[in-house]
Chain A
Amino acid sequence: IAGITQAPTSQILAAGRRMTLRCTQDMRHNAMYWYRQDLGLGLRLIHYSNTAGTTGKGEVPDGYSVSRANTDDFPLTLASAVPSQTSVYFCASRRGYLQGAHKPYEQYFGPGTRLTVT
């Protein structure tokens, strides 16, 4: 079934530990995104990737890093987790990013990862 998978579903992590959230899509979408959702704040962009091999910073990138070695995978790493990174993390993908054009097809979201940093 085509879509986006995220792992783990939920995680409790001790502060200071390193953690990688996994995201895989099988729709061959060019663009991928990581958002965090916090109560009362909506969803905020952490990092994005327009195509394999490129990444960029979003609104709240501090403390996070990403890589995009291939089209399908877009892992998000917390190098040293802090309690303020407790959140629900959503990965999303979108097809059709074109050079010099704007074709924002709807973003497809994964089911989310609930992360608690203690």
Chain B
Amino acid sequence: AQKVTQAQTEISVVEKEDVTLDCVYETRDTTYYLFWYKQPPSGELVFLIRRNSFDEQNEISGRYSWNFQKSTSSFNFTITASQVVDSAVYFCALSEAGQAGTALIFGKGTTLSVSS
């Protein structure tokens, strides 16, 4: 069965702390894609990154970095030097080949609160 688990429901940090959001996925497909989306308090969904199953290279974008490890079926997201504007709900998602028109399977989300 396809599944995405975000075990951390809520995380609270103080500004400038580093924080890692965990994501573990389950799939039987060898071809799949992983995503992270951000949902700020305003409610819209903002695409952050897409990773395919063929590429395990870690990626860094400014203060954001992603660690993809197929051996542990994990796709973790780290924010370095967190800021108040990072406060949001973060969703990890999985897209498989051949699954329902490549729709996304979402985790339940992690709410990140960054205080000043």
Contacts and interface: CB of A to CB of B under 8 A. Distances in A.
> Are A and B subunits of one complex?
yes
Contacts of A43: 91, 104, 106
Contacts, number: 60
Interface string B74-115: 000000000000000001000101101111111111000000
Interface stretch (B12-20, B39-47, B55-63, B64-72): B39-47
Contacts of B33: 104
Give the size category of B's interface with A. 20 to 34
Interface string A17-52: 000000000000001010100001111110011100
Given A104-B33, A106-B35, A111-B44, A42 B107 contact: yes
B91 to A, nearest CB: 6
A73 B105 CA distance: 23
Give the size category of A's interface with B. 20 to 34
Contacts of A106: 35, 47, 50
Nearest to B47: A106
Nearest to A112: B43
B50 to A, nearest CB: 5
Interface of B: 9, 31, 33, 35, 37, 43-45, 47, 50, 91, 95, 97-98, 100-109
Closest 10 CB pairs of A and B: A102-B97, A109-B45, A42-B106, A42-B108, A43-B106, A50-B101, A48-B101, A104-B95, A104-B102, A45-B103
